Each structure stands twice: as C-alpha cells, then as structure tokens.
Amino acid sequence: MTDTRAALGVGMVGYAFMGRVHSQAWRSVGAFFDLPVTPVMAALSGRSGDRTAAAAASLGWAAVETDWKDLVARDDVQIVDICTPGDSHAEIAIAALEAGKHVLCEKPLANTVAEAEAMVAAAERAAARGVRSMVAFNYRRVPAVALARRFVAEGRLGELRHVRAQYLQDWIVDPAFPLVWRLQKDKAGSGALGDIGSHIVDTAQFITGQTLTGVSAITETFVKERPLAEESAGLAADASGDGGATGTVTVDDAALFFGRFSGGALGSFEATRFATGRKNAMRIEVNGSLGSLAFDFESMNELWFHDHTLDAEEAGFRRILVTEAGHPYAGAWWPPGHGLGYEHTFTHEVKDFLEAIGEGTDPAPSFADGLRVQRVLMAVEESAANESRWTAIS
C-alpha cells in the first residue's frame, strides 16, 4: 500500500548522547505510532566530517553536513533537530525558524534568558507562518509522569500543598573525571542546575499545571579543578594525556532551592551530580489535600498513588504499573507488564511533535515553556549568588 502521508525530511545537529537517542526516536516512531506525516532521516551535521559520516552510517542518516548552516539550507530538510550544547541552541533555532523549518531543540532551551527570549520571538513569528517548535523536556513523555498529570488535572489530589523534586546523578563524583563541556559555563550555561534541574522544574510545572513564582537557593561546586578532557561524548570522557594539565570548573555541581507555586503549593528541589550511587534518579512527589503521587525514573514504569479519601485501614501508597493500553503512550508498545525505557520517552516526544506539525497545532512544551524554565534557572542563580534570605547560624 503506497504511503500517501507527506514525508518530512529531518536534519539533526549533533550526534553525541542526545543525538543518539533522538536518532533512535526518529527511526522507531513510524513503526509504533500512526502519524499524519512520515519522518525521513535526511541529514546529520557535525564538525568532523569523518566522525559525522561514521555516526550517520550507524545511526541511520542519509547524508552528512559539516556546517549546520548547510543542513538548515537543504531542500530535503523540513525539520531541524538540535542536539548540541546549549551555547548554539539560539543561533541554530532562530536561523532554522526563519528558514521556515520546524524546530525541536534539546533542553534547556538556551544558556541565558536573553537568548531564550529571542528564540521565543522567532518561534512566535514562525508559528504565524505555520512553522512549529518544541523544547525536548522528554520526562513529560514518561507514561507515569503523564498519568500523574492526568490525576492532578482530574482533582484526585485535591489542593496541592507540596512538590518535592530531586534529580540525582553521580557521574562526576571522581575528581579525575575530566573537564567536559557540561562543566564549562560558556558551553553549558550552568551545571547540574540547567542540565538536570531544568528537567525537574519543567516536570513539576507540567504535573501540577502551576508555575514557580519565586525561589531561594544555594549552589556548590565541590570539585573546582579537573583534568582537561581529550575525548568526551555524552557522560563519558578521557583525560588528556599531556602531563596533568587541569582547567577550572565554571558551573555548579549541585543546586538546592525551594519556592512557591502559583497555586499556593510549596516546592523543594535538589539537582546534583554528587549523589553517590544514584545514576539517573529523577524523582518527584506531590502531596495534596486528597492524596499524593510519587515517581522515580529509576523505576520509570511505576507510579505510586495514595488516595487519602479511603479509610485509613485500607489507604496508603499503592503501586500502579503504568503499562496498560489505557495509560498514556503505553498501548503503542508491549503487553501489560513488559515496560518501557529511557529511549521510549524520546519516541513519544517526536510522535507528539510530528502530530502537532501534521495537525497544524503548536506542540508542548513550547519555547515559551522553555523560557519559563530559563527564568527559574536565572532566579536560582541570582538567589544563590546573593545568598538572599539566608540566615547564618552562629
């Protein structure tokens, strides 16, 4: 049967950890979801010709560019997928939107609020021409997280009182781990705060439907000097062999902050890369007047729910295995109980993005949602820098 759906060429910039998992999403989405348009993996862009060609061959991209500007200009590219460090998000996204290309941009949206504001302006101009944009906060697309949002929206938690969010990793606990780009402010914008703190801010705002209105924060850089990186990709790296040259870490290793939500709930947040033994523990608990929810990405197919309206004798947190056909996204995959993984959240992300493009609607999270997160990150950094509302204990 001939596929009569419009084919949209995708051009991706970057092929490290995010590039690899986005490639898996573009490759698999059409096989598991009935889409209004068909994605074609047209071209991959990277600075090194040889390495980009090797990545394109292994990840399934048809052509190679060594300059993202050439990728954006290609006639066979209608979607630009940005999987680069944050210092290039604004330049690439604005150019692509102005060239009439739909844009999916990895998080955080940008390295500064000013950059994010320029991206939002470009996205709004482009949307008027039917050009769509989305920021890749993939944890919204975990079935259990989407179910949590559904429960809150249905009022099953009542009035929200507390949001307790953590994102715990430990990949740089070793001081000998080299100075990769995620540890350099000019490349990454911030450290744990922007890289993983942005996820828990967006996820908390997504589940509760409320936004943070103010924060008080502390940050810390535990290891201030590291060996220079020779090779790095994703979360792995090799130290340079030139006799111990080191560089200064210019970002936070950990950020802790608390704040108020627009609906009155209180929030506490912890983003750290020094939670020794925790690998990718993105956790959130929401407490309300009628019940509570708890989620831990390291058990991503489970949502814990406490219904406080039940008699005390039978109440308590119970585990929902979020793998039923009626659960968000789950029905497209395997029979109940067989579970999904990290990669599936990105497939759900491109599925929703392609559906919005095909239906002519604006996808979420929008660049404006990404700007809201960026404003929280800036407020955390300003609060931590001024140690505002910090009462020393003598």
Binding residues for ligand SOE (CB under 6 A):
17, 169, 195-196, 235, 280
235/332 with CB nearer ligand SOE: 235
Question: What residue type is assigned to position 3 of the chain?
Answer: D
Give the integer Cα–Cα distance in Å for 387 and 326: 47
Could you tell me if 206 and 145 are in contact, meaning their C-beta atoms sit under 8 angstroms apart? yes
> Nearest distance from residue 221's CB to ligand SOE, in Å?
16
DSSP E strand stretches across 46-193:
63-65, 79-82, 102-106, 133-136, 160-168
> Nearest distance from residue 166's CB to ligand SOE, in Å?
13
280/299 with CB nearer ligand SOE: 280
18/131 with CB nearer ligand SOE: 18
92/271 with CB nearer ligand SOE: 271
- CA-nearest of 82, 93, 388, 64 to 257 is 388
The closest residue (CB) to ligand SOE is: 195
Phi, psi of 376 (to 5 degrees): -65, -45
> Nearest distance from residue 188's CB to ligand SOE, in Å?
9
> Nearest distance from residue 380's CB to ligand SOE, in Å?
17
Nearest-10 crossing angle of helices 17-32, 49-59: 30
> Nearest distance from residue 298's CB to ligand SOE, in Å?
12
146/157 with CB nearer ligand SOE: 146
Give the integer Cα–Cα distance in Å for 322 and 343: 16
> Nearest distance from residue 286's CB to ligand SOE, in Å?
21
DSSP assignment string, 183-215: G-HHHHSSSHIIIIIHHHHHHHHHHHS--EEEE
72/119 with CB nearer ligand SOE: 119
